[in-house]
Every structure is written in structure tokens, then in C-alpha cells.
Chain A
Amino acid sequence: MMKTGFLTVAVLLATAAVATTGAVAQTKPTAITIATEGSYEPWNFTSAGGKLEGLEVDLANDLCARMGVTCAIVAQDWDGLIPALNARKFDAIMASLIVTEKRLGVISFSEPYAPTSAAFMVEKSGPLAKLPGANSTVDLGGDPAAVNAALAPVAAALKGKSIGAQTGTKNTDFLDSYLKGSVTVREYKTTEQHDLDLQAGRIDGVMAQKSSLTALLLKPDYKNYTLAGPTFVGGVFGKGIAVGLRKDDATLKAMFDTAIQAAKADGTIEKLAQKWLKTSLN
């Protein structure tokens, strides 16, 4: 795992170098607009008073300083992020956007700034708290037989339950492709909305990024909830979280790549992870 991570970084570094040299002809922007979702605590959310905050907001400001550009950070609904990027409503997306093949068909990505994994959150006293596979990790990109063996008991336990997930995320893809027929999938515009519905008891669990759920569970509002079942990585869950960019914006991609490498190298990203996620990214 560590080794492939290192290899990916090396390959990305090389492509970044090529991209930088290839893109000198494009003029370097001095001001950019970055869109985030603003309702995905602790990655990006809106605090009292309506201010955007979170790991990605801090990181965006840090990266902009490194790139020497002034940046405006705006909030945009999740399901409109990619279409709006391509409609040039803004220049970059930093909203826990995972690199996937399908998204690579319509936009490009910077080097990833965080790895990703997904998990279920359920009520502590509910029937799903004992979902099989706790503390194990299922690599969906791994051996299909092993994946099926690990998923079968989970699917059985989830039979007839309803799980909430955000529209257009890899979580709905996962539920649709791996647990179809077993669970009822309810799709929400924001994760905050499925959290509200979980608390209201309209759904039996939610699926979201593990880092985000872990941080939520530290809050007093969530004392009756817990993670359940295995952690899912790889496969539909893609290659990590990265900045989403327009395909024709090679200059900006090169600028982001360089800045992200620097932020990784000097420990800035790790420091932000400790601050917001209360855990290490690695």
C-alpha cells in the first residue's frame, strides 16, 4: 500500500513536471475561484455566522498563498459542482472530490491531497450496530472472491434496511453496484441532510467518507451513533481526494500539483488533518 502510494506520487511528480513545461505558453492566472460544498464537516462546512471553514478551506488558502494567487472560495451544491466547473462558474473544486475514471472523463484532477475510505454510521442501540466485519478493511480493487466473501455477511445483515448517501458520490455507486437488492438506497443533496434523517430515524444508516464520520462521532450530538461494518477502500472509491480542474486548464493543474507537493512535504497537510480530522491521514 505504502509502496504503491509512493509510486503514484513519483508518477504524478513526473507528469506534473511535464505538464509544467508543456504549459508555459498559457498565462499564469493571478486570481482564481475555488468552489467547495460547505456542508461536509469537517472537510468543508459553514460555521455560525455563515463562514466557510474546514480542512479544505484552510488548505485552499494555504495552496493559494503558495501559488501566489488571490483566491475566492465559494459554496456550491454538490450535484452541480462538476457541471458548474465545466460551465466556468469557478476554476477549481476542493470538496472531498475523489479521483475516479468516470470523473476523469469530464474533468482533470491535481495530485491527490488525501487518501479516502468509506464506512457506515448507524445508531448504537439499533440492529445494525453489530454489522459484521467491524475493524476490517475491504479493498474493492482486490481479489473479487475475497471481496464477495467479505461482503456476503454485510449484505445479509443489511437486508431490508435503508441506507442514506449523497447523490453523485461514490457511496451511492457502491451501494448500487455491491448491495443492490439488499438495501434501499435513499439519496440526499447533502450529507447534513442524511445525518438529520438518520437522527430522525427515517433511515437505518448512512454511508460516507470514514474520515468525515469519525470526526462527526467526536461531537456530542452524535454520542448515540457509531461506525459499523468494514471500512471500504479502492475500486469504486477511487484513488484519493484531489482538486478538480477543467481539462484544458493545464497551467492551473501544474500550479496546484507543485503547491500540494510542497504542502505535503513540509507537513502542512498532516497538521491540518490533526486539526480537523483529529487523526493522521496516513
Chain B
Amino acid sequence: MPSFDLFLGPNGWGKPLLSAALMTVALSLSGLAVGALFGAVLAHARIGGGLVLRSLADAVTTILRGVPDLLVIYLFYFGGSGLLSWAGHAAGYDGFIGLPVFLTGTLALGVVSAAYQAEVFRGAFNAIPRGQIEAARAAGMRNVLMFRRILVPQVLRHALPGLGNVWQLILKDSALISVIGLVELLRAAQIGAGSTRQPFLFYSAALVLYLVITSVSGQVFRWAETRSLRPFRRA
């Protein structure tokens, strides 16, 4: 069977496709982490910031939600290094700061998902009863301790379902990172399709791998959700 050799032969495309799938997972995971950071900052600005900070965060959110992700990724790719160098220059460093393509992809995914993550965190924060925060203050907890003991565990729990959705979004958006040259799953399929003139076969293979990744990780999130609710289950 020719397609058997094509994928599993000694010079087959199976291995590059699989490692590209791993790249998709790695890229999405780091995108999720960076996006969580950006998102937390945005959420913080929208909850606790002054008027200026709040409107700034609103503006950023509006832009991120209104501009196609493809454009954000392109802008980040071409503009990112220039901006970094400019910032480095202002800080007294006089060289050029380049970014490896994986890092660019991570940052782009982080930025693209930040607005969604901010919404998730804001909703989760609002779900914490105000009384708990007042109680923590009354018990003499300082901000950091309160953040660590009261806010983070609960925000994370309330945020889990929302984060699961964001994760699926990031996974699918990671396909767009193919346009800046990172060999993730879609690009590997594209390369294979172009090289062998078998687009149907290669896109089908990638489609199946995407389905595996999204459904397995979906299960993981559901498991985490059930687990995080365990202390609250009545016997």
C-alpha cells in the first residue's frame, strides 16, 4: 500500500507529523501559560485598576477581540523584535534583540488568548464571596498571603471550565502560527502535501491528530474539574 510507506517507511512522514503534533501541544501549553500571565494582568487592571488603567485594559481587550488573530500574529511577528530592540535601546542596551520563532509563536498565542483569559479570571474572581476577603483582612492576612491562600486556589477552581474552553481555542489558533514558519502540525501537513502532491491524505492525517489532541486534553480538563470539586462533594 503506497500510503503505508508514505507514512511509516524509513523516510516516511509519520515521524515528522508526530513530532509536529508534539510541537503543537508544546506551543499551545506555553501559549496558555503566557496568556494566563497577560490575562491576569488585564483582569487585575479591570477589577482593581483606576479609571486610566481600566480604560486602557478595556481598549486592549476591544482591540484583541476585534482584530483577526491572523493579523495579530503577523503584527507580533514583524513588530515584536523591533519593539523589543527599541525597549532594550531605551534601557541602555545597544544591540538588536531577536526572538526565536517558538518564542514569537508563544507570545503571539499568549496575546491572542489574553483577552479571553482575562474574562475567565474576572468571572472566577467575582464568584468568590466578598465576605471571605473581608474575613481574611479581619484575620490580619497581608495581601500576598491572602492572594496565595484565599484567591488563587478558588479563582483557579472557578476558572477551570473557562480555561478548558480557552485551551481549545489556543490549540486551534496554534495552527495559525504555521504562517510564521514554525513547523507545527498544520505546517508539517502543508509541507507533506506540497512535497507529495497528496493534500487530501496529509490534511486528513493532521485533522485526525488535531481531533486526538483536542479530545484527549478535553478529557484531562474534565478530570481536573471533577477533582477540584472533590472537597465540596457531600458524602
Is the A/B pair a real complex?
Answer: yes
Q: A37-65: contact bitstring with B at CB < 8 Å (1 yes, 0 no)?
A: 01101000111111000000000000000
Q: Which B160-190 residues have a C-beta within 8 angstroms of A?
A: 179-181, 183, 188
Given A87-B82, A89-B98: A193 and B194 interface contact (C-beta under 8 Å): yes
> Which residue, of A50, A76, A77, A221, has the highest number of chain B Cβ atoms within 10 A?
A50
Flag if A80 contacts B13 (CB, 8 Å): no
Q: Which listed residue (B15, B79, B85, B194) contacts A46, Cβ 8 A?
A: B194
Chain A residue nearest to B80 (CB atoms) is A87
Q: Which of A79-110 contact B (CB under 8 A)?
A: 80, 83-84, 87-89
Q: A80-B78, A89-B98 are in contact. Are A39 and B183 (CB under 8 A)?
A: no
Q: Chain B, interface size: which category?
A: 20 to 34
Q: Return chain A residues, CB-CB under 8 Å to B20.
A: 50
A48 touches B12 (CB 8 A): yes
In-complex Cβ contact of A47 among B78, B79, B101, B195 (8 A): B195
Assess the A48–B98 pair: CB atoms within 8 A: no
Q: Is the CB of A49 within 8 A of B194?
A: no
A218 within 8 A of partner (CB): no
A50, B183: Cβ atoms under 8 Å? yes
A176 to B82, CA, bound (A): 33
Contact of B78 among A38, A83, A192, A221 (CB under 8 A): A83
Residue pairs across A and B with Cβ atoms less than 8 A apart, 30 shown, are A39-B194, A45-B194, A46-B191, A46-B195, A48-B13, A48-B196, A49-B16, A50-B16, A50-B20, A50-B188, A50-B191, A74-B101, A74-B181, A76-B181, A77-B179, A77-B181, A80-B179, A80-B181, A83-B78, A84-B77, A84-B78, A87-B79, A87-B82, A89-B81, A89-B98, A192-B194, A195-B197, A196-B194, A196-B197, A196-B199
Residues on A lying within 8 angstroms of B by beta carbon are 38-39, 41, 45-50, 74-77, 80, 83-84, 87-89, 190, 192-193, 195-196, 199, 221
